[in-house]
Amino acid sequence: MKLFENTYDFEYPWEQVTAANWQKYPNKVSTHVIGVDVLRRELQDNGNVLVSERLLTVQQKVPRWIMMVLGGSNISYVREVSTVNLREKSLKLRSCNLNYVNLLRVYEMVDYTPHPEDPYNKTLFSQQAQITAGGKFGKLVNTLEDWSIQRFCDNAAKGKAGFDSVLRSLWEEHWDNNSLVMKMNETVDDLGLQMTKRVNEMNAAAEIVIKESLRKFTILTDYQDLFTEAFEDVKKTN
């Protein structure tokens, strides 16, 4: 048996990575996964746990010597069972091959959890695969297991790049939506500022008009007093 282990970080929060997991395939990088079918999906623990079972159809190039031993085609099937736990914030995927299990068995375990160093912004990906060859291979067991490990490593790199592209696409779409909202808010704020400025200008203009009216009224009042005094003087003279 050969063991493959791998860990890396995703620069996205666990919630977003978990949501994007359902849109991971197909993508332009991981072209070996050509189909995904949901076989079962159920909620447990009052809706806090989601268990899903999927069938992945895989097609990839296989060395001729392996095809001669295995026979059949280069299309294989993988059963995957995933568990999303909202309370624990964990996504666990367990998968195994359904073809040629008497000759080659691959059991994969994948875990997505909030990153211990930055749990709100990053996700830790942990992967382990147990690859066991047997049956009629004899001396070719190590060779087949070594080839399987190398192929698994290549597919893991493609899987990471492919999932990154999916996350980036989803994040950019989310960011664009946020940008649109931000622009709308900025526009509303600008309109509010313009209206406030206009109102202030109108208030200032009104204040000037009122002050000018008061000034003129004061002048007229003063003239009225003068006219009254003059009129009284004329009456006394007559």
- Average pLDDT value for the chain: 79
* CA distance to 1, 5, 116, 151, per residue, from 159 (Å): 23, 14, 23, 12
Which residue pairs, CB below 8 angstroms and at least 24 apart, start in 95-100? 95/56, 99/72, 100/70, 100/72, 100/76
Strands (E), the chain: 2-10, 33-44, 49-59, 75-85, 90-97, 104-114, 123-133
Pair type for strands 90-97 and 75-85: antiparallel
Cβ neighbours around 124 below 10 Å, total: 19
Q: What is the pLDDT of residue 145?
A: 81
- The confidence score (pLDDT) of residue 211 equals 63
Mean pLDDT score, 54-60: 90
**Lowest-pLDDT range, 6-20, 131-145, 210-224?**
210-224
**In the predicted model, is pLDDT for residue 19 greater than 80?**
yes
**76-85, 106-115, 183-192, 214-223: which has the minimum mean pLDDT?**
183-192
Residues 97-124 have pLDDT tens digits of 998 787 788 999 999 999 999 999 999 9
Is 160 or 81 the better-scoring residue by pLDDT? 81
Q: What percentage of the chain carries pLDDT values higher than 70?
A: 68
